[in-house]
Amino acid sequence: MDPPTGPSLGLYDYDLLVIGGGSGGLAVAKEAAGLRKKVLILDFLAPSPRGTERELGGSSFNMDSIRKFLQQATLLGKAVQDSQKYGWRFRHEVSHGWSDLVQAVQEQLKSASLELVRELKSCGVFYLRARGEIVAPHTVEVTDVNGRKRHLTAETLVVATGDRPQYLDIPGDREYCLTSEDLLSLPHPPARTLVVCGSAEGLECAGFLFSLGLQVTVMLLADLLQEFDLKMAEKIENYMFVGGVDFLHHCSLSKVEQTEGVMSVGDLTTAPQQVSKGRLQVTIISKDGQIKQDHFDTVLLAVGRKACTSDIGLECVRVQCSQDTGRILVNERDQTSVDHIYAIGSVQHGRPSTTGLSVHAGKLLARRLYGGDSILCDYTIVPTVVLTPLEYAACGLSEERANLIFGEDSIEVYHSYYWPLEWTLPARNKNSCYVKVICHIPDHERVVGLHVMGPNAGDILQGFVTAMKCGLTKQQLDATVGIHPGAAQVLTSLTQTQRMSEALMLRGNC
């Protein structure tokens, strides 16, 4: 919906102007419009460096959808393998069609984006596909897709520009490497792939590609899943390594070049055809300085994300950002160093970033601004999920963080492996799925961290998040009746602690 061009009845053209169409920005805009405020959203939707189109909803909303679709493709492939143990028979060989998946996902993303535009219109939110730059305290210069410029004013500004995948700034990275948002723009399977990461999105992409039968190598530039629990990260890596994913540790990527070679292309539904195409030669430097070269068909970078805060005029009005991350410094009210400018979502410095959290924070911000509420967003107990082939969900503190905050003697960790019933007939690995509950002993063993690794881990965890926000203790967890059959019941019957397990291992009993 184009914004009106006539004169404004008030001091400003809008009550609220949101720069960026991320999930948090959409949430604050819709909530504010519902409170009868005049609201405009600006989102330019610039393509990726490789030309991949972006859709309304921000990187988190759209990438979350892609992550789930890719994981589901992986799970369906595994289910097909398991199904024979459940009596299913197939008349023809089952195979995967890359182009079919790509087309279906892209159509779904475009459909979701159009639905968002319709939803904004029905809520009374004005939307412009345009770039916004703050040029004065209450004034934004708007540049549309044709380069036309004009100035609009608003009483309150919200920055929700989100973030974008980072590059390594090495020779050849932008010319020849993909990021996660480019993966499904490929017209053919990526064949032999090097995933450069340590992040959740890198492991998710690696797991997906490997599950399609492609050869995948993961190069870890830093510790795996740095913001997550260390032992859980190690278990994810071990699960993928045992499954056949190669890992490179303690090395770095210094150069990517294109060379003449042969690459297998075409859908996985047919025999791949060998065609002449430039392959990628990568130069790898080990920790001790040794140089190695290898060849891949695709190099996918998942080395972190950079906040989109550098070209929106923050410095013009002296909005303070972190010198290290470039992200915006905010207070407990999501307010920047400038009173009438707020920030929501992954542009905030030092806070967790998930789609669900951004939406929640956006709604609360609008209610504080226009609804008379005073409820602040709780950024401490935030659930998150890693959609690797074996899903991992977490809420609260990692074991390392809990030990650092409270001291090891004040922390008890209950844990257990479990075997989902649906895994027993196909005899899938019995010691893969795992849970652990981290408790603060002096506070009646209050649960401060909960970690689940197994099928549907995110859905299992969701209800326990509410309980944790209410001060869940181990005693209350033990008093909860588990649903049988079901995997979540393992959390209601934990008796083994890590101290007990370590003692048994020292005595050689396990």
Domain boundaries, the chain: 14-164+306-370, 173-303, 390-506
- 3-state SS class at 141: strand
* pLDDT score of 74 more than 70: yes
Residue 176: name the closest of 197, 190, 162 by CA: 190
Q: Is the peptide bond before 171 cis (omega within 30 degrees of 0)?
A: no
**What are all long-range contacts of 379-384, with beta carbons under 8 Å and residues at least 24 apart?**
379/351, 379/352, 381/465, 381/468, 381/469, 382/352, 382/354, 382/357, 383/354, 383/356, 383/458, 383/461, 383/462, 383/465, 384/352, 384/354
pLDDT, residue 3, reads 59
| 390-506 CATH, one of 3.30.70.120, 3.30.1050.10, 3.30.70.240, 3.30.390.30 | 3.30.390.30
For 295-335, what is each residue's pLDDT tens digit?
Answer: 999 999 999 899 999 999 999 999 999 999 999 999 999 99
Q: pLDDT tens digits for 144-167?
A: 999 999 999 999 999 999 999 999
Q: How confident is the model at residue 61 (pLDDT cuts 50, 70, 90)?
A: confident
User: By the 8 A CB rule, do 433 and 441 touch?
Assistant: no
Query: Residue 257's closest CA among 289, 295, 286?
Result: 295
- Tell whether the model's pLDDT for residue 491 goes beyond 80: yes
- Looking at residue 123, what DSSP letter applies? H
Which pLDDT belongs to residue 213?
Answer: 92
410, pLDDT greater than 80: yes
86, pLDDT greater than 70: yes
Residues in contact with 180: Cβ distance below 8 Å, sequence separation at least 6, in sequence order? 63, 66, 165, 201, 202, 204, 205, 300, 302
Q: Are 166 and 151 in contact (CB under 8 A)?
A: no
3-state per-residue secondary structure call for 413-439: EEEEEECCHHHHCCCCCCCCEEEEEEE
The answer to whether residue 278 scores a pLDDT higher than 90 is no
CATH of domain 14-164+306-370: 3.50.50.60
Q: What is the 3-state secondary structure (H, E, C) of 70-96?
A: HHHHHHHHHHHHHHHHHCCCCCCCCCC
Q: If pLDDT is split at 50, 70 and 90, which confidence band does 50 have?
A: confident
Amino acid at 188: H
pLDDT, residue 263, reads 47
Tell me what pLDDT residue 268 has: 42
Tokens of 274: 């060998």
The one-character DSSP state at 5 is -
Condensed to tens digits (0 to 9), the pLDDT of residues 325-382 reads 999 999 999 999 999 999 999 999 999 989 999 999 999 999 999 999 999 999 999 9
pLDDT (mean) for 55-67: 80
d(CA 393, CA 386): 6
Dump pLDDT digits (tens) for 422-476.
999 999 988 899 999 999 999 999 999 999 999 999 999 999 999 999 999 999 9
Higher pLDDT, 478 or 266: 478
pLDDT at 383: 96
The answer to whether the 173-303 and 390-506 domains have the same CATH topology is no
Least confident interval from 58-62, 121-125, 406-410:
58-62
**6 pLDDT higher than 50:** no
- Tell me, what DSSP letter sits at residue 508? T
Q: What pLDDT is recorded for position 509?
A: 60
Average pLDDT over residues 226-255: 93
pLDDT at 185: 86
Query: For the chain, what's the residue count?
Result: 510
Tens of pLDDT, residues 153-212: 999 999 999 999 999 999 999 999 999 889 988 999 999 999 998 789 999 999 999 999
Distance of CA 85 to the CA centre of its chain: 34
The pLDDT value given to residue 55: 82
What is the C-alpha separation between 403 and 401, in angstroms, rounded? Answer: 5
pLDDT of residue 508: 65
337, 2, 362, 340: which is closest to 139 by C-alpha? 340
Which residues are CB-contacts of 279 (< 8 A; sequence separation ≥ 6)? 258, 259, 260, 261, 262, 263, 295, 296, 297
Q: Which residues of 444-477 are buried (b: 16+ CB within 10 A; e: fewer)?
A: ebbbbbbbbbbbbbbebbbebbebbeeebbbebb
Percentage of the chain exceeding pLDDT 90? 79
pLDDT of residue 270: 39
Q: How many CA atoms lie within 13 A of 106 on its CB side?
A: 16
| CA-closest candidate to residue 351, choices 306, 326, 382, 315 | 382
pLDDT for the residue 266: 41
pLDDT above 50 (res 412): yes
Q: Give the span between the Cα atoms of 165 and 157, in whole angstroms.
A: 25
CA distance to 180, 215, 304, per residue, from 209 (Å): 12, 8, 19
What tokens does 104 get?
Answer: 């279906």
Per the structure block, which two tokens stand in for 113? 């984006």
Stated pTM of the model? 0.90
β-pairing verdict for 298-301 and 178-179: parallel
User: Catalytic site residues?
Assistant: 484
Per-residue pLDDT band for 276 (boundaries 50, 70, 90) equals very low
Fold of 173-303: FAD/NAD(P)-binding domain (3.50.50)
